[in-house]
Amino acid sequence: MNIEEKARALVEPIVVQGGFELWDVVFEKEGAMNYLRVLFDNSTAKNSADTAANSADTAEFAADTAANSADTAEFAADTTANPADTAELRGITDEDCARMTAPINALLDKQDFIKHVDILEIGSPGLTRRLRHAVHFAASLGKPLRVTKRGDKGKTVVIYGVLVSYDGDSGAFELQGDKGILQLSLKNCIRVNLDL
> Any idea which of 44-53, 114-123, 186-195 has the lowest mean pLDDT?
44-53
2-6, 73-77, 117-121: least confident range: 73-77
pLDDT digits (tens, 9 = 90+) for 71-113: 333 333 333 334 344 334 456 899 999 999 999 999 999 999 9
Measured from the Cβ of residue 150, the count of other Cβ atoms closer than 10 Å reads 12
Is the predicted pLDDT of residue 47 greater than 80, yes or no?
A: no
Amino acid at 148: T
Report percent pLDDT > 90 for the chain: 69
Cβ distance 56 to 69 under 8 Å? no
- Binning pLDDT at 50, 70 and 90, where does residue 153 land? confident
Q: Distance between CA 4 and CA 111 in Å, rounded?
A: 13
Alpha carbon distances (Å) from 124 to 20, 24, 114, 171, 187: 11, 10, 21, 25, 25
Query: What gap in Å lies between CA 161 and CA 166, rounded to an integer?
Result: 13
Closest CA to 4 of 134, 108, 77, 103: 108
In this prediction, residue 193 carries a pLDDT of: 97
The confidence score (pLDDT) of residue 90 equals: 56
Spans of all domains in the chain: 3-194
Q: Is the pLDDT of residue 67 over 70?
A: no
Residue range 130-149: average pLDDT?
Answer: 95
Share the mean pLDDT of the chain.
Answer: 81
pLDDT at 20: 95
Dist CA 19 CA 12 (whole Å): 11
Residue 11 has pLDDT above 90, yes or no: yes
Backbone angles phi, psi at 129, to 5 degrees: -60, 150
Kindly tell me if the per-residue pLDDT of 54 is higher than 70.
no
